[in-house]
Structure 1
């Protein structure tokens, strides 16, 4: 466990990184911010609400796959696995996995949000009282060293559900998958959720739901900047917009300025033109063979795959190639 002093230092470091990335991102010719900053306590709660919206198919489709194929996944992974997860979130999918695995050795959740991570770790410790749970507060997108646990395990399993891998541009995805391969070590495995291409209407509805929960989630990023970085964004002057880029096979989320305006963050001014956007998230939809090729570059080979009847989503198990 990270002690109170360690959490405080990590929080200060995260705040400094947040400020630096916001200043850089808003000062770029095409304004953009990393989606990781969407997940403060309120953002994490809003994301959980997004997952409950009828338009948002990824969560329920992946959960159904994990429920339907739990025994097969557990058999393919094998007993006594040490599971680590980047971006643990609420842990709903993790519960399914840990319940199915035979004698999991330990669980190491990593998340940038201390509050969300603490809640998840506590819930899983209650659900699996004999399981060693060691939460790590860290930004996994810039690298994280997992704690050394003097525990016997048959293999290390990287669990990366939720199609979170789709939030990374291909070169970034390769780098992240390589880090997972290093952490997994020889004989390690990767269980990853991959969202597959589908019709544009379904995708746009999933990322701009009728109840406006995704819009609130996106706009909360500006509210967070106001709260934490002395920003003066007027949220009413921005709107959430989702767009499909068929060429890159990705959904994009943007915050669009209604009008020409000047906004300040920590005293630094940023001008917006009417219609100008802040690109806040991309979500790539991967063809299975294309993703397998990407994983191979990072040192993974495909072992098993499970896909729903509509071929909308895939849960894929990879082993270390060497």
Structure 2
């Protein structure tokens, strides 16, 4: 059930996702599988979010700076392609740097709709954006929800038929190709009519570039990966000994995805609350898959989910792409 809450100058559309219950249920379900896994969405507690911001500044980690460079170079062209009076719906609100690059050049945006499951972070980022664009009178309509679930897109004061979802950062790569098809089909259902999708998609490349991006020299990515266990300890009554696990990330060439794992360094039994979980030495917990795309694979996912690829912008080295999809 959705609840509207007035917070300062804007209204929060709150679908009250029960994060703790979901966290416990999904962690225990994942750790009970023959191949243990923890969903990567649980990386992002307060410390995890700070560590990821640090990762984005690392010399080995090319995706963020490359996507920002593409947006900086082509933002006027992208804005023209998005068309007049778009309702920009961002799936997972981040630091706001990419969002501002897009908002700066949009033609008379109807409103900005940030969607995130992290309520406090959502409120803070919505307030910053509202203040930054106060002189343009931008309406900000934050929605606290799991964007993979059903919710209603709030109506802007100024009506528009131009709905554009914004999904930066190659977060789509955390989904398998079939999951990506299901997710894009879900977006079409949420739109209840024609829509666009501006999406960041990391491109397939040599493992000599990919693997260092997830195994940085300073060990920040390792700390980010291990932090999910610290979060389980703190929030779910776990007793993981972090020094009994090590970070491993590698590029699976066959499936064209980076795999991140936490490897048990010994035979051990840990607990989540009162639930025991046994590990063999060398057994892993999969914490993230990050699929890499070709133009053809992205076009195939779009086609299978009722979209077509309308435009693609890349950097000179073809490391990363920003793609505009339209529903058909």
For normalisation by structure 1, the TM-score amounts to: 0.95
What residue number does 1:176 align with? Answer: 183
Distance 1:304 1:72 in 2: 10
Distance 1:8 1:263 in 2: 35
Contact 1:85 1:158 in 2 (8 A): yes
Aligned pair partner of 1:10 in 16, 23, 28: 16
What residue number does 1:92 align with? Answer: 97
Structure 1 residue runs of 5 or longer lacking an equivalent are: none
1:267 counterpart = 2:267: no
What residue number does 1:29 align with? Answer: 34
Equivalence map 1:15-94=2 (5 Å): 15-94=20-99
Q: In terms of mean alpha carbon deviation, does 140-149 or 278-287 score higher?
A: 140-149
Q: 1:122 Cα deviation (Å)? A: 1.5
Distance 1:48 1:202 in 2: 20
More helix as a share of residues: 1
Q: 1:23 Cα deviation (Å)? A: 0.7
Contact 1:158 1:184 in 2 (8 A): no
Aligned pair partner of 1:251 in 245, 258, 272: 258
What residue number does 1:239 align with? Answer: 246
Q: 1:215 Cα deviation (Å)? A: 1.0
Aligned pair count reads 320
For normalisation by structure 2, the TM-score amounts to: 0.93
Distance 1:52 1:75 in 2: 30
Contact 1:44 1:89 in 2 (8 A): no
Distance 1:67 1:58 in 2: 14
Look up the SS of the partner of 1:19 in the other structure.
helix
Deviation per CA, 1:110-156: give whole Å up to 9, x if none.
11222322222121111111111121122223344333445312400
RMSD between superposed Cα atoms in Å: 1.9
Structure 2 residue runs of 5 or longer lacking an equivalent are: 7-11
